[in-house]
Every structure is written in C-alpha cells, then in structure tokens.
C-alpha cells in the first residue's frame, strides 16, 4: 500500500505536472483508483491522467520510494527478492505438471549432503546452471520437473553425534532446514512439494524394498570379503583412508581381515554398463573413467597344473590379455591371500611365507600396487612349482603383494620381458627374462634385459607353431592350443568388482534381513542376556515387505566400537526378537552405505507421495529419464556407476521403461577460494553465500557464478569482480524504471532492431549449449546499447525481450522489471523471445584491409559484396593506396565479411 502522505502530495500536484513510469506506474494508479473511487486524489488522477500522460514527471515514484510503495528507486535486493520468493511459494509457480501434448524436461541436481557448515559459494554454481535451463525450458513451453532433496545418511552426522551426544537425526534435519533456507534465498525454481530426504522413513521403506528385490534375484548375497579393518576406529576403511598401513584418521593400525559382508553383484551388469555408455551425452572424461573402472578386456583363461612335492592336485588359474606371450612365462605369482598359498608352500619355506603374508595384511591395495622408483617390489618363493600348459616346463611359484586377491583370479603368469611390474620383480629377485615378442624394424625399444617391451610385434623364441607370426594372429593360435589341450579358453574379463554393501555404522538404512538363532537352552535361554547362542548367518531371511520400513533403534552411544558386527549389535532389544513360533531371531546389524539412497532418488522425485509403490508406471512414462543431470566429476565411478546398476536392474524387473537414468550429464567446474586453493575451513578461504546474498543479493551471486567463465572450468572466486554483474543488474533495472516505453514500431531504429535479434539468437544458442558466460556478455552489450540511446523513450519490445532473456539468470530482477512494465502475470512461463534470421545478418559490414599482412584501413561494404567491390572500396582509402604506391599486386586474399589482404611487391 502507498501511504496517505504520498497520495496527499500526489493530489496536490495532480493538476500540474506528474510523470508516470511507463506501464507499471499507470497500472498502479489505475489499481488504486479502482479501489478508491470516491477520494479526491482518485478524482484528480482520473481527470488528469489521460490528458497529461506524456508530461508527467517523476513525482509519483520519488514519493512512493520514500514510503513503502511497489517501485523503489534502486534495486533493493533485500526487499525485491523475498517478495518474489513469497510470490512463487504462495502460487506454487514451479509445481511440475504434465500437460497433454507437451514435451518435458527433467532437470536434476546431484542432491547435497546437508552438512552443518551449510553451503559455500562453490555449491550454487551447478544449481544455478540447472535452474537457468529449467526456467528457459519452461519459457519454451515445455513441462519441467526440477526437484530438490537431501542425501542425508552418512558419516559426518554420525561423527557429530559421537562427539556431542546429539542424535544424528536431530542435526541432520537442522542442517536440512538451513540448506533449504539458503537455496530459497537464491531463487531456484524447485518444485518444493516433491522434496525428500533419504533419511525419511517413507523413503527408507522403498530403499529397503529395492534391496529385497536384489536379494530375491540373487544379486545381494553374503560373502567373506577381505577388508581393511581398524579396531581402534571400529570400522572398515576404504583403501584411500589408509597411509602406510595405518588409518588416515588417528594413525591407528589397520588389519586385512575376511569379514562377513553383504555384496551386490554389480559384475552381472558389467557388459551392459559399458555397452550402454555409447548412447549417452556425457563428458568424455567421465565416459572414459567408467570404461576403465569396468575394465573390459578380452583374453584367455590359462591353467597351470601344480607340480608340487606330494602330487597336490589342482591348478593355478590366471587371466591374461596377452596369450601371445605365454611362452615367455618364467614364474607364476600368487596374491598373499590366495587359498593355494598355504597348500603349496614347502615346509622349508613355510615360515618365511607366513611372515610375508602377515606383513602384506597390514598394507592397503593402494600401497601394494603403487609404482615408482621408490616402490620396490617385494615377494617370497614358496618352494612350489607349476607346469607350463604348452611346453611342460616347471616354473616356480612366488607370493608377492603386487598381485591382489580381489582382482582377476588373484594369480598372474609373469612375463618379465613384456610386463613392467613383472620386469621390476624379476630384476630384483634375479628371475629369468625371456623375450618372445620382437618389435617391428626401426623401433627404438631397449633390450628386454633393460626394459620391458609391452607393445605388439612379431613372435620369437616360441617354437615353430608361433615364431614369425604377428601378435594378433599368435593370440588366436595360443588360445586354440589351450582349448585343444584343455588348459584354457578365450574369455572376456572385467576389472569391476562386486559392490561391498555393508557398513558397521549406525546412521544408515538397516538391511532388512534377519537370521535364526540357535539357543543352547531352547526353553529359557535369552540372547539379549548373552545366554549361549549361535546366530545362523547361513540362513538369511528377508523381512516381509509389509513390515517395511525396518527402522533404526534409538541409541545413546553411536560409537562403532571394536565389534566388526557394528554398533547396532549393542542394541540387543532391537537386534534379537521372537516370532509367533516362539523362536529367537537376530536382525542384521550392518547398515547400507550412503550410496544406497542416492541410487534411485531421481525415480522417487517423479512420484514422491505414492504410498503403494516406489513410483508408478504413469510417473515413469511422464518424467523419466532425466534429461539434464548436473553435478561434480568426483562421482564419475561411484554414484554414477551404482545408480546405473540399480536402474538396469529395475529396468529388467519392468519397473521402468528406460534403459538409462541420465541422458545428458554436465560437471560444473570447481570454484576455488580467493587464494586459488580448494575451499576448506582449514585454509580459511570459504566464502559463505549468505554473506554475498546479504551484501548484493541472490541474483548478483547467480549472475556472477554464471559469468565467471565456462561452466566446466575451474575458477577462483574474486569478490571484487562481483561489482561488474551488480552494475549490469542495476542498469537493467534502471532502464525499466526510469525510461518511458513506446509501443510504436517506428521507434525501433534499424541498429537497435538488428542488435535485438542478434542478441536473442546468440543468447538462445548459448543457453542451449550451457555457454552462460557468453550469454550474459551478449546481454550486457545490448543493455549498454539501450542505455546509450539519447531518446526520451525506449522501444518496449527491445526492453521486454531483454528482461525475458535476463530472467533465467536473475529471476527476481526479471519478475520485478516485468511487473514494472505493466504485466500482471509472472514471466516464468512467458514465451521465450524469438528472432528473425534475416535480421541477424547485417546489410552492411565493416572489414579490415591489410597490405602484406598488416592492417592499413577499414571499409564498409554490402554484406554480399564481391571481391572486386571490396577491392575497389579499399583502393579509395588514401592510407591503403599509399602503401600500394609503386608496387605490383601479386595476390588478393578475401574472406567475405571478415578481411581483405593485398599482397604486393
């Protein structure tokens, strides 16, 4: 409302000279007059408004801005931005609705983990990019689903709970509230009615349901897996969390132990996971990372029969991609964990081998496979031998920790002449190096005694069957011989390992499995009292689907402890229970990893309130797959691979009609601190978006992050440069507020008309390719052009098109300007501006004229001018002519619309 004081002043000058702001102010006058028809001010304004429309001065707006009116004299972000955030929320402007016959776009961010520290300015970059596209596509008359939620299980909340005694659920939802507030302050066009958190029990229900489907199909099973167990921390550690055999956190000793774990058999989908990458619009680096992680390789399975004393039966199985080098094998290596190690080791070597195995158990896989001059290979001879499958030669069996039990067969055939790791090992231990592949003539390869030759070439020293054959043919011949002798076969192998799905932590989804408990005393025994009992882990029983979700118990102590079963093993009243049959049962005490909830959240967003299914067929048909997925490159081979695996499984169950979840993937570049380093509290270089919003507003932050450089690039935050986009924002605002508009088409001069259409075309193309920095630069040029016009009025069409183009980047500014221009409805779904191609091409172009490669002048010629026309115009330039005086033109190079180069002697 406008205060009475403002209207009193307006009333006193209404018969004199008052200026209306174009469109918006007239609308405000008319609205006020309509609701106050009997007042003196209304009668005066009604009488004078039509007659003096062109003569009004800026009394109304200066008075209104001094009170509490709708049109401030400057862009007051602290007033304007909350105003439009309330508007969108009250009207559910961005609620995703499917309309018959309309296309759709599903725009998704990799949803955040709601940490206690909140967002820093690096986070909104990807969110702003996806929001620009969501807003743009709405204006292109597409139905848009743009949701937001929270990946809220995980270690940080649990660690905070351990340190403070506060339940992780409390801090998690406090953090969510803070994140939500921060995101809303930036004006993101999320459909908040679809918000979810992976910790919501109605969401956990369906995560557990999917696990049960995996279990029923044999893709979730228990297995003894070698893990990095840290007794001091009471948890399994990833390889990346271990340095020199000790935990990165706390420097505690780590053991390699076989523990009962739940494993998801992602390897069953290895072939599909690689093959279906071909149809995706993903960054090349991420595609390559997934291919390498899946690691498809064609080769041969080779069996080396044991030749140990005592005639121990069996063979050592290896996989090789180079069967052509089989005749160059000089020894075989087993991983320290290989079950054959203890069986085949001779008595005189047993003590040394056991000591070595114990030592290897304290190393991580990364330590064991590290390369470099300072990483010497270690190993020990078992005293046992194998028989070469083709030559019959006996070869020694060694144990070495550079071979991993979890990769391939846990054994390798060592060909030191043609493998770098085998060469290093053989050199250290004085083992034979036999060359069986010779490089092509002219190669600069060193002798194999000095360096392994790993390339392809001609087979040598391998007998009459193979000598002289190229590598490609030799591979086929060797495989045929192995199959003939029943010592091997052609196979396809994958580097990908099955997914260890167990965590010994509290804050995760309970795995919906339980086991029978055998009591020593069946009548009075109670496992909750530690009465003698045995949990039958070999007889897993799935929780009934109707009993989901299986919730976590309330606990006061969340510390993992030193029990590999996890801290839930201490919640005995929860773990042990009786059924109607009177028998005791024990729940699974491992929880799911954080990745579980993020594997399928994009599906639930399509149908978040469905109580009967995780999502319905109609929702899948209407919204899936995700058209644009924006998030960090660090998830290339974890989240993105796991989600694709779950999706393919759900596709096979008929629960989705789409083979892939994410059609287009974009990685935003990291925003560094002002010191050029990654933002972190320890470095003190974190920039809080709340501070930026408070100082200059959410639109300025959005504009700056999109203007910093290419979306995918790594960029340092530079606070001083925010002022540039603030000036642009304010310029657009002042254009609308302080200049009168005209609807006359004659007011649009040719230069403005053509620049407007060029701007629309360039911005449209840039938005389509996510080239947001150049789109903003183009709009800046157009805004400067409009601001530089000396006329009293501006063409309404030019200003409105500028406002519409700016709005996806700076939505609060766009809405405010749109309202000032006299529009009653939000521009959120207003049609995107269109351009006329013919008006994007200049009739006259300026091009440089060079003489012998140096610019000597400039000419203006018709866009379709011929070389002769341009040459004639150039010769009329006195400066150009002077450089040609007395010389002979020997060549003319003409690039239409760009340059003319005259070569003269």
Report pLDDT for 561: 74
Residues 6+ apart with CB under 8 A from 187: 81, 84, 85, 88, 131, 698, 699, 702, 811, 812
Q: Tell me if 548 sits within 8 A of 540, measured CB to CB.
A: no
* pTM greater than the 0.75 cutoff: yes
The string of DSSP codes covering 273-314 is HHHGGGG-B--HHHHHHHHHHHT-EEEEEEEEEB--TT----
Rounded Cα–Cα distance for residues 200 and 194 (Å): 13
* Tens-digit pLDDT profile for residues 400-428: 999 988 778 999 999 999 999 999 999 99
Q: Return the percentage of the chain with pLDDT > 90, whole number.
A: 69
Residue 766, φ and ψ in degrees, nearest 5: -65, -40
Report pLDDT for 601: 98
CATH number for 721-839: choose from 3.40.50.1860, 3.40.50.300, 3.10.310.70, 1.10.730.10.
1.10.730.10
Instruction: Tell me 369's DSSP state.
Output: H
- The answer on pLDDT for 553 being more than 80 is yes
* Tens-digit pLDDT profile for residues 614-671: 999 999 999 999 999 999 988 888 899 999 999 999 999 999 999 999 999 999 999 9
Q: Return the percentage of the chain with pLDDT > 70, whole number.
A: 90
Residues 6+ apart with CB under 8 A from 402: 333, 368, 369, 377, 379, 421, 425
* Tens-digit pLDDT profile for residues 336-373: 999 999 999 999 999 999 999 988 887 767 677 765 54
Residue 274, φ and ψ in degrees, nearest 5: -80, -45
What average pLDDT does the chain have? 88
Helices 811-820 and 722-738 cross at an angle (nearest 10°) of 10
Rounded Cα–Cα distance for residues 527 and 857 (Å): 95
Rounded Cα–Cα distance for residues 154 and 438 (Å): 54
What kind of fold does domain 208-275+499-594 have according to CATH?
Rossmann fold (3.40.50)
Q: Tell me if 716 sits within 8 A of 673, measured CB to CB.
A: yes
- The CA–CA distances, whole Å, from 865 to 27, 841, 889 equal 50, 14, 20
Report pLDDT for 10: 43
| Residue 527 in tokens | 């496992």
Closest to 598 measured CA to CA, from 169, 149, 151: 151
Rounded Cα–Cα distance for residues 600 and 441 (Å): 55
Report pLDDT for 188: 98
* Tens-digit pLDDT profile for residues 723-776: 999 999 999 999 999 899 998 767 789 899 999 999 999 999 999 999 999 999
Rounded Cα–Cα distance for residues 110 and 638 (Å): 13
Instruction: Using the Cα atoms of residue 282, residue 284, residue 285 and residue 287 in order, give the sign of their dihedral.
Output: positive
Query: Can you tell me the mean pLDDT for 10-26?
Result: 38
Per-residue 3-state assignment (H helix, E strand, C coil) for 759-817: HHHHHHHHHHCCCHHHHHHHHHHHHHHHHHCCCCEEEHHHHHHHHHHHCCCCHHHHHHH
Query: Model confidence at 246, in pLDDT bands (50, 70, 90)?
Result: confident
Report pLDDT for 168: 93
Report pLDDT for 727: 97
H or E element that contains 203: helix 201-216
Report pLDDT for 352: 97
Give the CA angle between residues 647, 649, 650 to the nearest 5°.
65
Rounded Cα–Cα distance for residues 775 and 711 (Å): 12
E strands, 214-365, where? Answer: 220-230, 235-237, 242-243, 246-247, 255-264, 297-305, 315-320, 331-334
Report pLDDT for 165: 86
- The answer on pLDDT for 232 being more than 80 is no
Domain segments of the chain as ranges: 208-275+499-594, 296-494, 721-839, 842-904
Instruction: Tell me 348's DSSP state.
Output: G
The CA dihedral of 252, 257, 262, 263, to the nearest 10 degrees, is 100
**Which residues lie across from 104 on neighbouring strands?**
143
Query: Model confidence at 257, in pLDDT bands (50, 70, 90)?
Result: confident
Report pLDDT for 312: 67
- The answer on pLDDT for 228 being more than 90 is no
- The answer on pLDDT for 572 being more than 70 is yes
Report pLDDT for 91: 97
- The answer on pLDDT for 892 being more than 70 is yes
Report pLDDT for 842: 78
E strands, 826-870, where? Answer: 844-851, 854-862
Question: What is the residue whose two structure tokens read 């009967």?
Answer: 612
Q: Tell me if 208 sits within 8 A of 543, measured CB to CB.
A: yes
- The answer on pLDDT for 1 being more than 50 is no
The side-by-side arrangement of strands in the sheet containing 315-320 is 315-320, 297-305, 488-493
* Tens-digit pLDDT profile for residues 24-79: 344 455 554 555 444 444 444 544 444 443 333 333 443 333 333 456 778 999 99
Rounded Cα–Cα distance for residues 139 and 598 (Å): 30
Superfamily of domain 296-494: Valyl/Leucyl/Isoleucyl-tRNA synthetase, editing domain (3.90.740.10)
Rounded Cα–Cα distance for residues 93 and 223 (Å): 50
| Residue 407 in tokens | 């990769």
| Residue 768 in tokens | 């389509």
Higher-scoring residue by pLDDT: 117, 40: 117
**Does residue 258 sit in helix, strand or coil?**
strand
* Tens-digit pLDDT profile for residues 285-315: 999 999 999 999 999 999 999 986 555 679 9
**Which residues lie across from 301 on neighbouring strands?**
319, 489
545-558 in b/e form (b: 16+ CB < 10 A) is eeebbbebeeeeeb
Report pLDDT for 12: 36
Query: Can you tell me the mean pLDDT for 848-863?
Result: 90
Instruction: Tell me 443's DSSP state.
Output: -
Q: Tell me if 517 sits within 8 A of 584, measured CB to CB.
A: yes
Q: Has domain 842-904 been given CATH number 3.10.20.590?
A: yes
Residues 6+ apart with CB under 8 A from 674: 685, 687, 716, 717, 718, 719
**Which residues lie across from 854 on neighbouring strands?**
851
Rounded Cα–Cα distance for residues 245 and 225 (Å): 18
Higher-scoring residue by pLDDT: 869, 417: 417
Residue 666, φ and ψ in degrees, nearest 5: -130, 135
355-371 in b/e form (b: 16+ CB < 10 A) is ebbeebbbbbbebbbee
Q: Tell me if 661 sits within 8 A of 625, measured CB to CB.
A: yes
Of 474-483, 563-572, 741-750, 867-876, which one has max mean pLDDT? 474-483
**Which residues lie across from 118 on neighbouring strands?**
none
The string of DSSP codes covering 610-647 is -SSSSS-HHHHHHH-SBSEEE--GGGTTTHHHHHHHHH
Query: Can you tell me the mean pLDDT for 84-97?
Result: 98
Report pLDDT for 61: 40
Region label for 697, one of left (φ > 0), alpha (ψ between -120 and 50) or beta (otherwise): left
Query: Model confidence at 491, in pLDDT bands (50, 70, 90)?
Result: very high
Cα maximum dimension of the chain: 120
Instruction: Tell me 269's DSSP state.
Output: G
Rounded Cα–Cα distance for residues 177 and 168 (Å): 14
Give the CA angle between residues 698, 699, 705 to the nearest 5°.
90
* Tens-digit pLDDT profile for residues 795-835: 999 999 999 999 999 999 999 999 999 999 999 999 999 99
Helices 722-738 and 796-806 cross at an angle (nearest 10°) of 140
């Amino acid at each position: 409302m406008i205060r009475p004081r403002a209207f009193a002043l307006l009333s006193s000058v209404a018969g004199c000279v008052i200026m209306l702001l174009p469109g918006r102010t007239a609308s405000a006058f008319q609205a006020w007059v309509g609701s106050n028809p009997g007042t003196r001010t209304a009668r005066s304004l009604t009488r004078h408004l039509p007659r003096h429309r062109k003569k009004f001065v800026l009394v109304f707006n200066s008075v209104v801005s001094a009170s509490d009116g709708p049109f401030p004299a400057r862009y007051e972000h602290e007033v304007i931005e909350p105003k439009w955030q309330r508007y969108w929320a009250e009207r559910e402007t961005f609620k995703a609705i499917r309309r018959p016959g309309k296309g759709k776009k599903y725009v998704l961010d990799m949803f955040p983990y709601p940490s206690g520290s909140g967002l820093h300015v690096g986070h909104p970059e990807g969110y702003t990019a996806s929001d620009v596209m969501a807003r743009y596509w709405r204006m292109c008359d597409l139905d848009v689903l743009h949701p937001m939620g929270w990946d809220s299980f995980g270690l940080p909340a649990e660690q905070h709970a351990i340190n403070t005694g506060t339940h992780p659920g409390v801090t998690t939802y406090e953090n969510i509230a803070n994140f939500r507030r921060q995101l809303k302050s930036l004006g993101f066009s999320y459909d908040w009615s679809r918000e979810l958190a992976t910790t919501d029990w109605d969401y956990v229900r369906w995560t557990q349901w999917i696990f049960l489907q995996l279990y029923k199909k044999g893709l979730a099973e228990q297995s003894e897996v070698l893990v990095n167990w840290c007794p001091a921390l009471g948890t399994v550690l990833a390889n990346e969390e271990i340095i020199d055999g000790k935990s990165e956190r706390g420097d505690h000793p780590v053991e390699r132990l076989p523990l009962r774990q739940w494993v998801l058999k992602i390897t069953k989908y290895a072939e599909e996971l690689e093959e279906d990458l071909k149809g995706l619009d993903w960054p090349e680096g991420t595609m390559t990372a997934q291919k390498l992680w899946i690691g498809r390789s064609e080769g041969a399975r080779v069996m080396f029969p044991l030749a140990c004393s005592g005639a121990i039966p069996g063979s050592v199985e290896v996989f090789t991609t180079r069967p052509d080098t089989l005749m160059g094998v000089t020894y075989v290596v087993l991983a320290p964990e290989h079950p054959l190690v203890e069986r085949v080791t001779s008595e005189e070597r047993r003590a040394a081998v056991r000591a070595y195995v114990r030592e290897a158990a304290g190393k991580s896989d990364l330590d064991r496979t590290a390369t470099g001059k300072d990483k010497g290979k270690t190993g020990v001879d078992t005293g046992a031998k194998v028989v070469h499958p083709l030559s019959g030669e006996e070869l020694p069996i060694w144990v070495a920790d550079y071979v991993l039990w979890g990769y391939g067969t846990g054994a390798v055939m060592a060909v030191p002449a043609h493998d770098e790791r085998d060469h290093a090992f053989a050199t250290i231990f004085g083992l034979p190096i036999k060359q069986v592949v010779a490089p092509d003539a002219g190669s600069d390869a060193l002798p194999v005694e000095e360096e392994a030759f790993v390339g392809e070439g001609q087979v040598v020293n391998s007998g009459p069957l193979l000598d002289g054959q190229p590598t490609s043919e030799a591979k086929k011949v060797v495989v045929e011989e192995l199959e003939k002798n029943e010592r091997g076969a052609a196979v396809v192998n994958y580097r990908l390992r099955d997914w260890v799905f167990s965590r010994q932590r509290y804050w995760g989804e309970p795995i919906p499995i339980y086991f029978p408990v055998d009591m020593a005393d069946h009548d009075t025994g109670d496992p909750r009292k530690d009465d003698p009992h045995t949990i039958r882990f070999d007889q897993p029983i799935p929780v009934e689907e109707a009993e989901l979700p299986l919730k976590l118990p309330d606990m006061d102590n969340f510390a993992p402890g030193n029990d590999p079963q996890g801290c839930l093993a201490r919640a005995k009243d929860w773990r042990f229970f009786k059924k109607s049959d009177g028998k005791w049962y024990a729940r699974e005490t491992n929880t799911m990893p954080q990745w579980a909830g993020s594997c399928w959240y994009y599906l639930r967003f399509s149908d978040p309130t469905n109580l009967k299914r995780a999502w319905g067929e109609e929702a899948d048909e209407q919204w899936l797959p995700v058209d644009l997925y924006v998030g960090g490159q660090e998830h290339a081979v974890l989240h993105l691979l796991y989600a694709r695996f779950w999706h393919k499984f759900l596709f096979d169950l008929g629960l989705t009609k789409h083979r892939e979840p994410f059609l287009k993937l974009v990685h935003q570049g990291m925003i560094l601190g002002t010191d050029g380093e990654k933002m972190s509290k320890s470095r003190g270089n974190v920039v809080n978006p709340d501070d930026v919003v408070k100082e200059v507003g959410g639109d300025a932050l959005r504009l700056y992050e999109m203007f910093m450089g290419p979306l995918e690039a790594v960029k340092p935050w530079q606070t001083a440069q925010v002022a540039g986009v603030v000036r642009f924002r304010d310029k657009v605002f002042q254009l609308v507020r302080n200049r009168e508009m005209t609807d006359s088409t004659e007011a649009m001069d040719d230069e403005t008309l053509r620049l407007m259409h060029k701007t629309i075309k360039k911005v449209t193309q840039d938005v389509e390719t996510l080239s947001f920095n150049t789109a903003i630069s183009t709009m800046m040029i157009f805004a400067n052009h409009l601001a530089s016009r000396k006329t009293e009025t501006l063409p309404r069409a030019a200003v409105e098109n500028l406002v519409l183009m700016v709005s996806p980047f700076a939505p609060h500014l766009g809405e405010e300007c749109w309202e000032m221009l006299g529009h009653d409805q939000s521009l959120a779904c207003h049609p995107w501006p269109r351009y006329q191609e013919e008006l994007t091409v200049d009739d006259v172009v300026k091009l440089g004229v060079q003489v012998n490669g140096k610019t000597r002048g400039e000419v203006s010629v018709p866009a379709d001018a011929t070389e002769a026309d341009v040459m004639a115009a150039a010769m009329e330039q006195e400066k150009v002519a002077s450089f040609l005086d007395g010389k002979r033109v020997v060549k003319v190079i003409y690039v239409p619309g760009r340059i003319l180069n005259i070569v003269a002697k």
